[in-house]
A and B are shown apart, each in its own frame.
Chain A
Amino acid sequence: MEKRNVTFRIKRFNPQKDEKPYYQEFTIEVPKGMTILEALQFIKDNIDPSLSFRAFCRSAICGSCSVKINGYPKLACKTQVFNELETYKTNVLTIEPLDNMPVIRDLIVDWDSALEKLKEMKTYLIPDSEIVPKTLDEESKVYPRELKKFDKQTDCILCTTCFSVCSTAKLDEKYGGPFSLARVYRFAVDPRDALKKERAKIGYAHNMWNCVRCNKCADVCPKHVAPVDAIMKLRGLSIEIGLKDNPGARHVQAFYKSLIETGMLNEVMLPLRAKGIKGILENLPIGIQMILKGKAHSPFMKPIKNHETLRKVMKAAMEVE
């Protein structure tokens, strides 16, 4: 079997002993097929028993072993060493703890802050007494077409990988975080739930409009949950139940209006439509700077060619939705 000598450059930190984190290198012989988790376990068993990391199921189900491998977070048990060597064209892999959470020791992070939000955001089924039977004698059926709406979100294993890459979670303590908001959506469309669409208000209270839709959570998720898709749908639900008087919802409307009016986004009108007069005042100084640089354009835009037929297509698309 093919074997390669691989150096693991592991970020170490023991707050009881170390002033600051440092990197330690371990070079071991890796056979083809060995996972990052098996390599870490090999180092712990044979070289340094103090190396600390979380792991449990080894089958990408428990969500405890996510670490950064050359800067990109992955489940250690689901990732083979050879694949990483191929991706990075190297024999040295840097293993670090996830970002956005405090380090307890070495590769173990304290994910309490991320998980506590789940409780706050009521991400559990609150049974609708009209639908869920009171005794266990009857079933509470969910049909396939209903399950389809939230099936993907039920795959979340709470590994916090998405939370660790979220640039909004890093800066906004109030922000619910990708996986928690995806769970809010999951229950908002569950036919057995008592709150249903009203759950969008929970998302709203946890700054769901601060999601910038970078799609990084969708990229790193080992279970392909794509939290960003659920967050966007939850924001749609919030508009549906009438939470329209806020910059997020107005921003959506501004795009829609521009498209219907001219087919193109009117960048000059966007601040006014999203934030009202405040938007104009906020942007006035920079607008003047841009005019001086020869960059600004008129707020009146010509519609695109054949705009009338586009409107027909748009209207028809909204009717079928």
Chain B
Amino acid sequence: MKIGFYQGCCFQGQDAHMFDTMRKVFEKLGVELELLEETTCCGGNTIEEEERELSYAINLRNIALSEAKGLDMLISCNTCYMVIAKAKLAADKNKKLKEKMNRLLKAEGLEYKGSAKIYHLLDFLRDVVGYEKIREAVVNPLTGVKVVPYYGCHVLYPKEIAVDNSDNPSSLEEILKALGAEVVSDYECKDVCCGYHSFYTDKNMTLRKLDRILNSVKEVSGDIIATPCPLCFKAFDIYQAKMESPPNVPSAFLTELMAYAFGLSREESGLKYHLIKVPV
């Protein structure tokens, strides 16, 4: 099958290799990712502070680009997912808003219909691909690796757009189990925000939040923290490296671990590029 892939800002620039990894992972699962090249940054939940309707406009445009190709859309960043899902929810609920936005999109010959489904990595893997198919693709199971799942906020909160039960999620655990990992999900800070988005407004606050989370991973003797959000991953890897005394907890973006379990090398899976060394 084929799905429109929204790359957002995370899969270009610094982490462009993550897209290559993801494409290879999905190839092994029989899914072709069609890159939606004309889509833009979602605004990072940031331009909304000043211009809410601008955020709706650019994100309905993003969805419209997928609809124009007749494809559903896969978004693999938590924040992009939340922002785009909120725009979709607002337009689907409010006919006037939808009409107003479509008048703007006309300038590009686009129309937001509301026909495309939008997925985050987690619900796409759970509902469309299925855990069984993931299990079947594993050639290098993560046996004996204690993986600590970390969902990140914007796939679970708020409920209106959540892809799993926010009070008791299970999809990430199930995917990691399918990879053969030993999953340790009971740790104190599992639902504490990583602080990524406040890095440029208050760096110390971000580092203190990270310190709490990573130390609680250490408390349960986790080998690695795994997240389906590239921003949380950046916080865990890059910002952790900025700490004065980093707790030295390795981290991975979910599809990197999948790639490794599916038999790709450390380089191809992206694990090689981490600042905090991954011990696999």
Contacts and interface: CB of A to CB of B under 8 A. Distances in A.
Interface of A: 70-72, 87-88, 165, 167-168, 171-172, 207, 209-216, 218-219, 226, 232-233, 235-236, 239, 247-248, 251-252, 255-256, 258-259, 263-268, 270-271, 274-275, 279, 282, 285-286, 289-290, 293-297, 301, 304-306, 309-310, 312-314, 316-318, 320-321
B13 interface: yes
B201 A209 contact: yes
Interface size, B (range):
35 or more
> Could you tell me the dominant secondary structure of chain A's interface residues?
helix
Interface stretch (B37-45, B121-129, B220-228, B251-259): B37-45
A239 B49 contact: yes
A265 B15 contact: no
Contacts of A279: 200
Given A70-B168, A239-B50, A247-B201, A216 B153 contact: yes
A317 B53 contact: yes
A263 B41 contact: yes
Contact of B61 (A233, A247, A290, A310): A310
Interface in B222-280: 238, 241-242, 273-275
21 contacts: A87-B165, A87-B168, A167-B193, A168-B198, A171-B205, A209-B201, A212-B193, A212-B209, A216-B191, A218-B157, A219-B157, A235-B49, A289-B275, A290-B14, A293-B273, A295-B14, A310-B58, A312-B107, A316-B57, A316-B107, A321-B54
A310 B203 CA distance: 33
Contacts, number: 191
A305 B37 CA distance: 7
B63 to A, nearest CB: 13
Given A259-B58, A289-B241, 9 more contacts: A71-B191, A215-B154, A247-B201, A256-B47, A295-B14, A306-B108, A317-B54, A317-B56, A318-B54
B4 interface: no
B30 interface: no
B75 to A, nearest CB: 15
Contacts of B58: 259, 310, 313-314, 317
Contacts of A264: 9, 12-13, 40-41
| Pairs A-B, 9 closest by C-beta atoms | A317-B57, A219-B157, A214-B193, A274-B200, A72-B167, A218-B158, A214-B153, A215-B157, A265-B9
Contact of B41 (A167, A255, A318): A255
A316 B101 CA distance: 10
A304 B48 CA distance: 21
A314 B54 contact: yes
Contacts of A232: 48-49
B201 A255 contact: no
A320 B104 contact: yes
B139 interface: no
Nearest to A319: B104
A259 B197 contact: no
B149 interface: no
A256 B55 CA distance: 10
A306 B68 CA distance: 15
